[in-house]
Amino acid sequence: MPPEKHALLSASSASRWLKCTAAPRFEEHLPERTSEYAEEGRLAHSICELKTLKKFTVMTSRTYTTRLNKLKKDPLYSEEMDKTSDLYIEHLTEQAMLYDSTPTVVAEVQVDFGEYVPEGFGTCDNVMIGGDTLSITDYKHGKGVPVSAVGNPQMRLYALGALKRYAPVFGDAIKQVRMSIDQPRLDSYTTDTITVEELMAWGESIKPIAQKAFSGLGEFAPGDHCRFCRGKAQCRARANTNTALEDFKDCVPAASVSPDAMTTSIIHLAVGLVLLVAVNIVLGSLNALFDGSFDKVKLRNGTIKGIIVAACFIAFYMAGWLNPDIIAIDVDGQTVNLMTASNLALLTAYVLYAKDVFVKLKNLILSKTSGTPPEELAAEQETAE
């Protein structure tokens, strides 16, 4: 099972922090969230690890069966995991056959690439070494987006860490690195091969960027790499690039807003909306009293309706704050996540209730100055509109 602890500048998020150096420190203060998909991935990796050990090391059938049956008892287990892990093992077998002699094969290898990235470490799904070639293979269980191994920074960081780990054993014998990403559920298998010199030169080239990201310096740079960023819903820079919501960008919390400040903001917004609803009900009741049409039943029903509407809007806003990564709309590459959608919904509620309050206040004032009943004023206004 892959370790729970993650580096600030992890290999898996390298494609993001290499482009947006301000992201890691910003994300650091936001709560980590898991999902059923992530947990499925962990289970699938555990099955892959077990089958790798059975295939390439000494393991009795009894031990293998016992451990596999234990994994299958997990509620997230599915027969598809058996099929995809078998495909993964087939690919590893093909990789091993490329060597002139039996290679060294290790599963779930923890590597340290801190020489290039401050406090950088991670876990390789599979490392294979033989002759002059080091092979790194990464299994991805997701079926969302195909990920290519070509020029992939995650794979290159893993490779740098693996070279460091096995240098005491293999010395300078390793001349080239082969990096593969397997996504059986997407039928996607990609491989990239570079020399050790090219890999190390790349490692040197990213050192300044990694140091900047570790220090929290640089500017926010939104793009496709924002997809898995925990702070994307609170990122001002990302909001400003969404041209479809340009007029509403000021409604999106700035990048400096902390979780505590967000909680306070939610409370203020909720109280404000409840007050608007209350004022709306009071003005409606006053108008009814002045024109002699006051009805307690209508007051009660209106109050209940107002409370329900306010509660729904507040609940929707809370849902957006708690689940900002859920995409509500995706049109031609422009995404609106649940957090942004809930901001817009709450803004709409404020506008509608504020408009109603002003209309009722206007009618109340005019009725007292002109002597015309409020309901007649409202009817005249509707006719004029």
CA separation for the pair 221, 10 (Å, rounded) = 18
Question: Which parts of the chain are beta strand (E)?
Answer: 104-112, 121-130, 133-139, 176-183, 188-195, 327-331, 334-337
Res. 245: pLDDT tops 60: no
Report which of 23, 2, 4 is spatially closest to residue 210, judged by C-alpha positions: 23
More confidently predicted of 367 and 194: 194
pLDDT mean over 45-54 = 97
Token digits for 267?
Answer: 């409370």
Query: Where along the chain do its domains lie?
Result: 14-223, 232-384
d(CA 119, CA 219): 22
Per-residue confidence (pLDDT) for residue 232, from 0 to 100: 80
- Segment 291-308 shows an average pLDDT of 75
Q: Give 98-110 pLDDT, tens digit per residue.
A: 999 999 999 999 9
Q: DSSP for 151-182?
A: T-HHHHHHHHHHHHHHHHHHTT---EEEEEEE
For residue 92, how many other CB atoms are within 10 A of its CB? 25
Mean pLDDT of 334-353: 67
Show the tokens assigned to 222: 């939104």
CB 341 within 8 A of CB 329: yes
Looking at residue 325, its pLDDT comes to 54
Interatomic CA distance for residues 193 and 324, integer angstroms? 38
pLDDT attached to residue 322: 65
Higher pLDDT, 260 or 15: 15
Mean pLDDT of 11-35: 87
* pLDDT on residue 179: 98
Look up residue 34 and give its two tokens. Answer: 């898991």
Report how far residue 159's alpha carbon sits from residue 14's, in angstroms, rounded to the nearest whole number: 14
Q: What does 93-119 look like in DSSP terms, one character per residue?
A: HHHHHTSSSPPEEEEEEEEE-TTTSTT
Q: Which helix (H) or strand (E) holds 246?
A: none
Residue 272, pLDDT score: 74
Res. 257: pLDDT tops 70: no
**Average pLDDT score over residue span 254-274:** 60
Confidence band for 261, pLDDT divided at 50, 70 and 90: low
Query: Which alpha helices (H) appear in 181-258, and where do they start and end?
Result: 196-215, 236-241
Q: Averaged over 26-53, what is the pLDDT?
A: 89
What number is the average pLDDT over the span 273-297?
Answer: 73
Q: What is the CA radius of gyration of the chain?
A: 30
* Spatial separation of the C-alpha atoms in residues 171 and 6, rounded to whole Å: 29
Question: Is pLDDT of 188 > 50?
Answer: yes
> Does the structure show a pLDDT above 80 at 185?
yes
Q: If DSSP codes are grouped into helix, strand and coil, which group holds residue 136?
A: strand
Cβ-contact 182, 91 below 8 angstroms: yes
**Cα–Cα distance list, 266 to 152, 156, 354 (Å):** 40, 42, 19
The overall pTM is greater than 0.75: no
Do 73 and 66 meet the contact criterion of CB atoms below 8 Å apart?
no
Helices (H) and strands (E) in the chain, counts: 12, 7
**Taking Cα atoms as reference points, which of 154, 152, 142 lies closest to residue 111?**
154
